[in-house]
Amino acid sequence: MLLNVILIVMAITLLVYRYRKLMYHFRTVEAEKLYRSGTLGPIALRVMHRVLGVNTILNLRLESEYGKGGWYKRQSDYCSRHGIKLVNIPMAQDTPPTENQIRAFMAELDRGDSCCLVHCEMGVIRTGMMVVAVATRRYGVQANAVWKYFPLFGHKLDGRREPVKAFIIRCAVLSKSSVQ
């Protein structure tokens, strides 16, 4: 009996661990329109496409990161085989997006049939900044509510990330002033 309980607990633990790795830092931003995550593997891409209807992937990673682990080739090949639009909007780490990058991102969201997944490597800083920019401009998120769209998943906004923190605060202030 005790052995059965231990095996069940181990199986549940393994499933939770696999899900967390499979759907790395996954969150819904706007159901059926925008999802966010870290870089996903082939199984998770299949889930995004078949279950959630994702038809556009917005990659925020730099071209210099494409060779790391072969993820870009796998993602690009999967997108080609399944008719998913792959859009690269390269952003440097810990650097806020430019207005042109935000516009390019929103242009993809504004396509009538688009259902987008946005990611960077871990789905935290670059993805978070882009999601906050869109949430304040498209989804009416205001003031301190922007922090809900910027989960840190254990990361910190330390001194080297001061520009990131300033960008998020600026989005919050701009959203508040645009409502008045």
How many domains, in total, are found in the chain? 1
Specify if 10 maps to a domain. Answer: no
pLDDT given at position 143: 82
pLDDT given at position 175: 65
pLDDT given at position 11: 63
pLDDT given at position 116: 97
pLDDT given at position 180: 45
Query: CATH code at 111?
Result: 3.90.190.10
Specify if 14 maps to a domain. Answer: no
Specify if 108 maps to a domain. Answer: yes
pTM: 0.84
Output the 3-class SS for the chain: CHHHHHHHHHHHHHHHHHHHHHCCCCEEEECCCEEEECCCCHHHHHHHHHCCCCCEEEECCCHHHCCHHHHHHHHHHHHHHHCCEEEECCCCCCCCCCHHHHHHHHHHHHCCCCCEEEECCCCCHHHHHHHHHHHHHHCCCCHHHHHHHCCCCCCCCCHHHHHHHHHHHHHHHHHHHHHC
Specify if 158 maps to a domain. Answer: yes
Specify if 119 maps to a domain. Answer: yes
Specify if 9 maps to a domain. Answer: no
pLDDT averages per 10-residue partition of the chain, 180 residues: 76 54 82 93 88 96 91 94 96 95 95 94 94 90 86 82 91 65
Domain of 34 in residue numbering reads as: 23-179
Specify if 2 maps to a domain. Answer: no
pLDDT given at position 142: 84
pLDDT given at position 178: 55
Specify if 46 maps to a domain. Answer: yes
